[in-house]
Amino acid sequence: MKYTITHITSIEPSLIHVQNNGRDLVGTNWWSHHLGKNLFFLSRNADCYRLLVPPIREAEVSDMTRNVREVVISVANQLREDGFLFELMFDDHSDAPYVIHFGVRQFDILPHAKRDTVERKRFHIYVNDQGPKLVFSTDVFLRIAPRLPWLKPLKV
């Protein structure tokens, strides 16, 4: 099997390495980085978004994915003062969906959504089990939001 490092993201003072095999995440140093112990990270390769879950949040994966109907990435149409650039919502059609807001140090490639359209891509969730372990897979929808937090149901 051939592996290639396709993304090297600068996060001061060290580099984050993400090793891919198509859509599959096969290696990363994110979880050994000081930010990776507490923060989520979103990586993208081959039209697949991959959520890396920090060890202290692994128990929440079942809450994230329970009864989920859509996973939606809403990209802010302008830079916010607090640095949040996009949100990831696990919409279970309840009044309190599981949502993660991402800042500048939590992704390797900024999600790109087209104006006035909703795009469907693949989505995987990984935890660290002596390396990346895939624990959930579904589709994700990308859209532009006029502001964050957005937290609105997807209209397709």
Domain ranges of the chain: 4-145
Q: What is the pLDDT of residue 14?
A: 62
pLDDT in tens, 138-156: 999 999 998 888 999 987 6
Residues of the chain with pLDDT under 70: 1-14, 79-84, 156
Neighbours of 5 (CB within 10 A): 11
pLDDT of the residue at 139: 96
CA distance 26 to 35: 20
The CA distance from 72 to 149, in Å, is: 13
| Residue-level pLDDT at 88 | 95
23 contacts: CB under 8 Å, gap ≥ 6 = 45, 46, 47, 48, 50, 122, 124
pLDDT reported for residue 85: 84
- Whole-structure pTM value: 0.87
Separation CA 39–CA 111 (nearest Å): 17
pLDDT value, residue 5: 43
Q: Which pLDDT belongs to residue 83? A: 65
